[in-house]
Structure 1
Amino acid sequence: ALLLVALRAVLQRTRQRDDLALFTLPETLTFALGTLCQQGFHTTPGVTSVRLVMFSTLLASLFVFTAYSAKIVAILQTPSDALRTIDDLTRSPITIGVQDTTYKKVYFLESPDESTQQLYRRKILPQGERAYHSVVDGIARVRTGLFAFQVESSSGYDIIRQTFTEREKCSLKEIEAFKLPLVAVPMRKNSGYRELFATRLRWQREVGLMSRERR
């Protein structure tokens, strides 16, 4: 019985040495490469310390791979900064559309901004009447991609809220096509009508008349 126990102990030590002998330099490089590629290893070492090293390496590789994948997904989901100005939009292959209203044509024609004029001559004027769309049709084309639509914010965002998903909303980018002139009611300084006009204008905003006119 004692002889059998001694032989068993010798066999176990020999097996451990054989397991350690497999970890030559090529085997170590193979294990490192397999760990980076999220692969296992063909040998299970018998030594506890080697097992702990392999387990720690594989666990660290898992954390690195997860962090790398999350970073790639975040980069892909981030909206592009390639379009920041009107000039960027003019040079891009994106098709331009405009909300079909009479005053939009006048704004583009009479805009003092050279960038806006260039956008109109290169992107809008060659299309003719095909460049002008209703709010619903224009926003629908924006959703399909490679299409920019100039629209009143109140009207456009209302359709976007109804038809776009949350992910599609995050991918939108807004560029100011032209600066609208300030609209005001001129009157004499210290005039007694100032408070009257201010009261009625606030009332029009509260009851929704201004919102209706914008639509």
Structure 2
Amino acid sequence: MSAVTQQGCFIEPRRTPGRIMEFIFFTALMALYAAYSANIVVLLQAPSNSITSLAQLAASKVTLAANDVDYNRFVFNDDIDPLHVSVHKTIIPDNGKPRFHDISYGVERIRKGLFAFHSIVEPVYRRIEETFQENEKCDLTEVDYINSLDAFTPVKKDSPYLELLRVSYKHVREVGIQAALNKRYQVPKPRCESKAVAFSSVGLLDLRPVLIMMMYGVALSLAILLAEIIVFKIKEYNCNFH
């Protein structure tokens, strides 16, 4: 137990085999402790990937909000999917103030953590590029809410324009016009350039189970101490009485 808790041992074996075994045992557990500590550091450095879908986001304790535009109100009110309805009721509760904010406030809340902001990505990413530090960009996660698809052109079957549109769209892509327009109007997700030096902060909420366990341990140790004192006093009283 002393080797596991890295506290040392006051009992030393007298023979050589016992000393060798004790040395190997303490060395192995010290290496295990170092590997465990290194694993904790790696987990603090790596960005969290615990939320990758809308269902996980809705079930998490992350605060949900949306950009204050009429489009979002239309999207929320027109959806009948149960998962989307739960997100809708979280952002627009029946009894309470709706969680609609502007881009600046929403991005600042994202920067502080535990906050999800529903909006078109272009203005959000522009604001992130202006305000975020490089290491803060590594913790960003994007979840699709609408499941949107790329726009397409409907054409009647056997239409004479079908081949013309096919050739024209291929030409637009091959000569780089589509890429140029996408680069002009679409803002890519900010890249994580300093992932190796980014650490995630650990708050009191994350340490709550450990603190509760410590409190139980302190209470148990005090109870054992009180019981030992009572037993000692009883034995001392019996010895003096006899």
User: If the length of structure 1 is used for normalisation, what is the TM-score?
Assistant: 0.60
- RMSD (Å) for aligned C-alpha atoms: 3.7
Shift of 1:141: 0.7
| CA distances 1:9-41 after superposition (whole Å, capped 9, x unpaired) | xxxxxxxxxxxxxxxxxxxxxxxx322221334
Shift of 1:74: 5.2
8 A contact 1:90–1:118 mirrored in 2? yes
Q: Which residue of 2 aligns with 1:196?
A: 168
SS, match of residue 48 in structure 2? coil
Aligned residues: 178
Q: Which residue of 1 aligns with 2:222?
A: none
What one-letter code is carried by the residue in structure 2 that aligns with 1:206?
A: A
1:108 aligns with 2:81: no
SS, match of residue 97 in structure 1? strand
Shift of 1:96: 1.9
8 A contact 1:99–1:133 mirrored in 2? yes
5+ residue gaps, structure 1: 1-32
Aligned sequence identity (%): 23
RCO higher in 1 or 2 (8 Å CA, sep ≥ 6)?
2
Q: Which residue of 1 aligns with 2:101?
A: 132
Q: Which residue of 1 aligns with 2:48?
A: 79
Q: Which residue of 1 aligns with 2:180?
A: 207
Shift of 1:58: 1.5
Q: Which residue of 2 aligns with 1:185?
A: 153
SS, match of residue 34 in structure 1? coil
Deviates more, 1:152-161 or 1:51-60: 152-161
SS, match of residue 98 in structure 1? strand
5+ residue gaps, structure 2: 188-242
Shift of 1:66: 2.0
- Map residues 2-13 of structure 1 onto 2, 5 A cutoff: none
> Partners of 2:18 and 2:59 in 1: how far apart?
60
Judging by fraction of residues, say which structure has more helix.
Answer: 1
8 A contact 2:66–2:118 mirrored in 1? yes
| CA distances 1:109-157 after superposition (whole Å, capped 9, x unpaired) | 33353422332233236544x51321x4322211212311123345544
1:95 aligns with 2:63: yes
- Map residues 11-160 of structure 1 onto 2, 5 A cutoff: 33-42=1-10, 47-73=15-41, 79=48, 81=50, 83=51, 85-124=53-92, 127-128=97-98, 131-134=100-103, 136-157=104-125, 159-160=127-128
**Residues 54/211 of structure 1: CA separation in 2 closer, same or farther (3 Å cut):** same
Select the structure of larger CA radius of gyration. 1
Deviates more, 1:41-50 or 1:65-74: 41-50
